[in-house]
């Protein structure tokens, strides 16, 4: 039996018996402000606060690691960590990830230079533009899907400039070296402020809304424990605790209408 799976079972058994817990759930994330970030060596942000509250409710000890995103995911998939956050849903992940109930709602969209009058309403608005995006990621996959759709519509497709981190695209945009950046809206605003380019870029409009989740490797975690974690989250949500956390960060609660029809079906 996998070591983390054994630990998860031990945690669940101890939780069920009401005894003090000694097991620990390890969560991986990335520097993804404003959702998760480092403050004086402590992993912080709304998603981290939500997980801490859930862990407290089920009397579990939880630890957090801020890692490069590729490594963060690989550790979870290999069973070296229990969960990862924040993540969007996609078919590939759904084959091996147990998604918690959605924890918040966000959106993808285009940022452009402040002097550009672009207002995004449909794909025709971005014909032929050179667009930076962080990837590989869910965000870059969404942009690549838009590129393919433009080709099928006989539109002049966007040219995609994939960057190894979120900051690179915004730096290029501020210098007018690309026409636009495709990004999570909240991340884009946070990065623009961090980089000191807030006055040089503007949000041109959303392409889609989506929910973010906490993900566990189904193979390495006991199903009963995951159900306990999900149930605790839902109880906190119904009690208003999740909304209170999100309000602090000016973020929106998850939208149940955005949950895929085949959610958590592997």
Does position 19 have pLDDT exceeding 50, yes or no? no
> In whole angstroms, how far apart are CA 106 and each of 55, 103, 223?
24, 10, 28
Q: Say if domain 3-102+211-254 classifies as CATH 3.40.30.10.
A: no
How much is the average pLDDT of 198-218?
97
Does position 50 have pLDDT exceeding 90, yes or no? yes
> Which pLDDT value is given to residue 264?
87
Q: How confident is the model at residue 4 (pLDDT cuts 50, 70, 90)?
A: low
Preceding amide of 52 cis, omega within 30: no
How much is the average pLDDT of 160-164?
96
Which of 168, 189, 173 is closest to 113 using CA atoms?
A: 173
Q: How confident is the model at residue 5 (pLDDT cuts 50, 70, 90)?
A: low
How confident is the prediction for the chain on average, in pLDDT? 92
Of 33 and 24, more confident: 33
**Percent of the chain at pLDDT above 70?**
91
Pick the CATH number of 106-209 from 1.10.1050.10, 2.60.40.10, 3.40.190.10, 3.30.70.360: 3.40.190.10
Q: How confident is the model at residue 18 (pLDDT cuts 50, 70, 90)?
A: very low
Does position 214 have pLDDT exceeding 50, yes or no? yes
Fold match, 3-102+211-254 / 106-209: yes
Give the global pTM: 0.84
Does position 6 have pLDDT exceeding 70, yes or no? no
> Which pLDDT value is given to residue 265?
77
pLDDT in tens, 76-125: 999 999 999 999 999 999 999 999 999 999 999 999 999 999 999 999 99
How much is the average pLDDT of 190-210?
97
For the chain, the domains span 3-102+211-254, 106-209
> Which pLDDT value is given to residue 10?
46
Distance CA(63)–CA(27), nearest Å, equals: 6
> Which pLDDT value is given to residue 261?
86
Distance CA(154)–CA(172), nearest Å, equals: 28
**Percent of the chain at pLDDT above 90?**
87
> Which pLDDT value is given to residue 227?
96
How much is the average pLDDT of 217-222?
95
Does position 156 have pLDDT exceeding 60, yes or no? yes
CB within 8 A of 142, min separation 6: which ones? 108, 182, 207, 208
């Amino acid at each position: 039996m996998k070591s983390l799976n054994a630990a998860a079972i031990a945690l669940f058994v101890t939780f069920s018996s009401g005894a003090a817990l000694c097991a620990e759930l390890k969560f991986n994330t990335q520097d993804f402000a404003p959702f998760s970030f480092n403050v004086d060596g402590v992993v912080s942000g709304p998603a981290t606060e939500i997980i801490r509250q859930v862990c407290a409710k089920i009397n579990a000890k939880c630890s957090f690691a801020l890692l490069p995103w590729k490594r963060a995911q690989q550790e979870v998939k290999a069973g070296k960590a229990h969960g990862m956050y924040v993540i969007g849903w996609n078919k590939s992940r759904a084959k091996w990830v147990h998604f918690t109930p959605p924890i918040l709602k966000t959106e993808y969209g285009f940022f452009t230079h402040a002097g550009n009058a672009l207002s995004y309403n449909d794909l025709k608005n971005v014909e032929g533009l050179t667009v930076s995006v962080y990837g590989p990621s869910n965000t870059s996959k969404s942009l690549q899907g838009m590129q393919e759709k433009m080709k099928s519509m006989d539109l002049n497709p966007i040219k995609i400039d994939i960057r190894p981190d979120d900051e690179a695209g915004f730096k290029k945009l501020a210098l007018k070296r690309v026409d636009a950046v495709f990004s999570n809206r909240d991340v884009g605003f946070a990065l623009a402020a961090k980089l000191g380019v807030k006055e040089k870029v503007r949000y041109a409009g959303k392409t889609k809304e989506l929910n973010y989740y906490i993900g566990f490797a189904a193979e390495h975690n006991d199903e009963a424990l995951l159900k306990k974690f999900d149930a605790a989250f839902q109880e906190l949500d119904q009690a208003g605790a999740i909304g209170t956390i999100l309000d602090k960060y000016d973020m929106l609660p998850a939208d149940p209408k955005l949950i895929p029809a085949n959610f958590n079906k592997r």
